[in-house]
A and B are shown apart, each in its own frame.
Chain A
Amino acid sequence: MTWFLNYFSFLKHSTSQQILISVLLIFSLAIIFLLSVSFGSFNFSILEFLYPSESSIQKTVLFEIRIPRVLLAGFVGASLGLSGASLQGLFRNPLADPGLIGVSAGAALGAALVIVLGSTYIPAYIFNTLALPISAVAGAALVISLLYFFTRGFGYQGITYMLLIGIAVNAFASVGIGILTFISTDSELRGLTFWTMGSFGGASWQIILPALMIIILSMLWMIPSSRKLDLLQLGEPEAYRLGIDVQKLKFKVIVSSAITVGISVSLSGMIGFVGLVVPHLVRLLGGVNHSYLLPASAFLGASLMMGADLLSRLLIAPAELPVGLITSAIGAPFFLWLIFRSRRI
């Protein structure tokens, strides 16, 4: 029991108002979940989710297609929201995002490699469950290793290096994806294009369960560091003088972001701006301390992503829009507004 209480001790740095906001976010997450499960090209009434009807085809659609898809959307949203919030804290830069340090690009290049070079040789079920996620996580891991190498173990003065390496990796990955696009066949190109725009279609329990487990574990590992991220805002030397092992903290944030983002990218493709926008909305709602920001960003990220996925299924039903188009269409103007507002960069 004590370890359980200790785990949640970070919450004592949140105000009661912030805890109320978090509870409301969880509540709205539940509502959006029910709505997302109910609507789509195949509609259910919300009650039917709780008392499933007997019709076997409806059951299959609901439990084998709809629910895994909505869950995946939620978890990808939560990963992007949480890793966005923690990377912004780590880099002390409100414009940081998993894409910024090149981790998303590394994952994307890994995935694109397999899509173009492997899909014709690898059987479909192995391809989706193993080859694609492993290759994406490997891509993300490679970028992290590069970061680790060039910054001498996420060293004391490493932040600027990391951002510059992120720029280089992003450029390199877009060249790689460009070449792959050029040499791909028509069907591969189609897969690649849909994947680079992001989609939650094709989620099944078999594919998402292991991924969700890893994402949950990695989040639970990250969230209790929130107080340390607060202290880091004073600057790395100050945080160290207040007793924080800054190297360890950096390692934790980078590794957990890489894992959650790498897996998310492999399962759903490139979905931009969620990691950037969500933490800002959360800060506007209730404050900047990370004990509130990190969990709340995960909840809001999940809600927004489920909402975006719902839109992607409804807007041109029965066809689907790629969800990445929706998040970018909302996120890009928001990004501009942020730059305009802060004028710090």
Chain B
Amino acid sequence: MSIKTSSISYEINNKNILKDISLEVELGEILCVLGPNGAGKSTLLNLLSGDFKPSSGEIYFDGKNLNDISIQERSFMRSVMAQSQAIVFDFSVKEIIEMGWLDKGLSGYADKFQEALDEIAEEASVKDLLNEKFNVLSGGEQRRVHFARTLLQTWRPSNSSDPIYLLLDEPTANLDILHEKKMMQKIKEKAADGIGVMIILHDINVAAKYSDKVAIFKDGQLKDIGPPSAVFDEEKLSATYGLPMKINENPYRITY
């Protein structure tokens, strides 16, 4: 079971944003996408989410072409956390998180909402925020609330074996170091529970620490993909980012 792309490209106004990308996000693993600004990382996430269609190539979810999966079915298969927009009306944090609760088509556990909410609120450390108004929260707190909503969308009872994917675009932006660490550990746990994760990250060291596979993008092309130990090479990294980099083995750290 996996999300698989077979040589997808995306162009807009004759400009190639992504070129001939083939990769796979497998259940139970974290694929981390790295690369400089404008490399096409977020566009890849948009294509995998189905926000828009690739100009060429196909995307398969568990062997099924994404085009043949309805909008509602997609929401059961994958949960997306991207850069969020401002919310105009004064919703409470609880209401925002509840938006991740897909009540239709999941009739088997429609009555489990409270259980799921308690569990997720704990996991995303938003327990103390539940009754606040969303708009008075700080940027980092809002991020955690969106993370909780994204997790709630993937919530299933413990006996379920539905394949589910998490697509995350810099989820730890604006977080303090404590919450960044907590969130990354939570994502790691989710992967260990069998969820497939694709995550766009900014910090190479965080990526090195938490990912099972790393994909390096530059200028819309997939430069390299594999386990961090194979991909992180001083020469290649320095070339990709246009910045001299040095890998220290003990403790493992990439400095620049």
B residues 68-127 with Cβ under 8 Å of A?
71-72, 74-76, 78-80, 82, 84-85, 87-91, 95-96, 98-100, 102, 104
Expressed in whole angstroms, the minimum distance between the Cβ of A323 and any Cβ of chain B is 29
**A234→B84 contact, CB < 8 A:** yes
Tell whether, in the assembled complex, residue A245 and residue B91 are in contact, meaning their CB atoms are under 8 Å apart.
no
Q: In the complex, what residue of chain A is closest to B110 when comparing beta carbons?
A: A12
> Nearest chain B CB to A88's CB is how many angstroms away?
8
Does residue A188 face the partner (Cβ distance < 8 Å to B)? no
Best-buried of B79, B95, B99, B102 by chain A (most CB within 10 Å)? B99
Residue in contact with A242 in the complex, picked from B75, B91, B95, CB distance below 8 Å = B75
Are B88 and A93 in contact, with the CB atoms below 8 A?
Answer: yes
Name B174-221 residues within 8 Å CB distance of A.
Answer: none
Q: Does A320 contact B (CB under 8 A)?
A: no
- Contact assessment for A243 and B75 in the assembled complex, using a CB-CB cutoff below 8 Å: yes
Residue of A nearest to B75 (CB): A243
**CB-nearest residue of chain A to B51:** A237
B5 at the A interface (CB under 8 A): no
Whether B153 is near chain A, meaning CB under 8 Å from some CB there, is yes
Q: Which residues in window 228-251 of A have CB below 8 A to B?
A: 230-231, 233-235, 237-238, 240-245
Tell me which residues across on chain B come within 8 A of A344, comparing CB atoms: 88
Q: Does B9 have its Cβ within 8 Å of any Cβ on chain A?
A: no
The residue of chain A having its C-beta at the shortest distance from the C-beta of B102 within the complex is A243
Residues of B within 8 A of A237 (CB): 46, 49, 51, 82
Cβ–Cβ < 8 Å partners of A93 in chain B: 88
From B76, B82, B84, B95, contact of A243 by CB (8 A): B76
| Nearest CB in chain A to that of B150: its residue | A241
Q: Tell me if A288 counts as interface (CB < 8 A to partner B).
A: yes
Give residues of chain A (320-345) contacting chain B, Cβ–Cβ below 8 Å. Answer: 344
Choose among B71, B79, B85 the residue that contacts A244 (Cβ–Cβ < 8 A).
B71
Known A242-B100, A242-B153: A235·B71 in contact at CB below 8 Å: no
Q: For the complex formed, measure the closest distance between the CB of B109 and the CB atoms of chain A, giving whole angstroms.
A: 15
Please name the residue on chain B nearest to A283 by beta carbon: B89
Q: Given A233-B88, A240-B51, A242-B102, does the pair A289, B95 have CB atoms closer than 8 Å?
A: yes
Q: Which residue of A lies closest to B91 (CB)?
A: A288
What residue of chain B has the Cβ atom nearest to residue A9's Cβ?
A: B103
User: Which B residues from 149 to 177 make CB contacts under 8 A with A?
Assistant: 153
Size bracket, chain B contacts: 20 to 34
Among B51, B78, B89, B153, the most chain A Cβ lie within 10 Å of the Cβ of B89
Known: A242-B100, A243-B102. A233 touches B91 (CB 8 A): yes
When the two chains form the complex, which single residue of B50, B72, B75, B84 contacts A235, counting CB atoms closer than 8 Å? Answer: B84
A242 to B79, CA, bound (A): 8
The reply to whether B75 and A233 form a contact with Cβ atoms under 8 Å apart is: no
Q: A191 within 8 Å of B by Cβ?
A: no
Nearest residue (CB) in A for B52 is A156
Given A234-B99, A289-B95, residue A243 in contact with residue B72 (CB < 8 A): yes
Which chain A residues lie closer than 8 Å to B78 at the CB level?
241
Q: Which residues on B sit within 8 Å (CB–CB) of A242?
A: 75, 99-100, 102, 153
Are A94 and B88 in touch, CB under 8 angstroms? yes
Residues of chain A within 8 A of B76, CB atoms compared: 243
Which residues A199-248 have CB closer than 8 A to chain B?
A: 230-231, 233-235, 237-238, 240-245
Q: Is B89 a contact of A94 with CB atoms below 8 Å?
A: yes
Whether B85 and A289, one on each chain, are in contact in the complex, defined by CB atoms closer than 8 angstroms, is: no
- Contact flag A288-B102 (CB < 8 Å), given A243-B72, A243-B75: no
The chain B residue with its CB closest to the CB of A279 is: B89
Q: Is the CB of B71 within 8 A of A243?
A: yes
A266 CB to closest chain B CB (Å) equals: 31
Interface residues of B in 19-56 (CB under 8 A from A): 46, 49-51
- A94-B89, A230-B91, A241-B79 known; 7 other A-B pairs, CB under 8 Å? A230-B99, A233-B89, A238-B82, A241-B74, A243-B72, A243-B75, A344-B88
Residues of A with Cβ closer than 8 Å to B?
13, 92-94, 230-231, 233-235, 237-238, 240-245, 283, 288-289, 344
Q: Can you spell out 28 A-B residue pairs with CB atoms less than 8 angstroms apart?
A: A13-B98, A92-B88, A93-B88, A230-B99, A231-B99, A233-B87, A233-B88, A234-B84, A234-B99, A237-B46, A237-B51, A240-B50, A240-B71, A241-B49, A241-B75, A241-B79, A241-B80, A242-B99, A242-B153, A243-B74, A243-B75, A243-B102, A243-B104, A283-B90, A288-B89, A288-B95, A289-B95, A344-B88
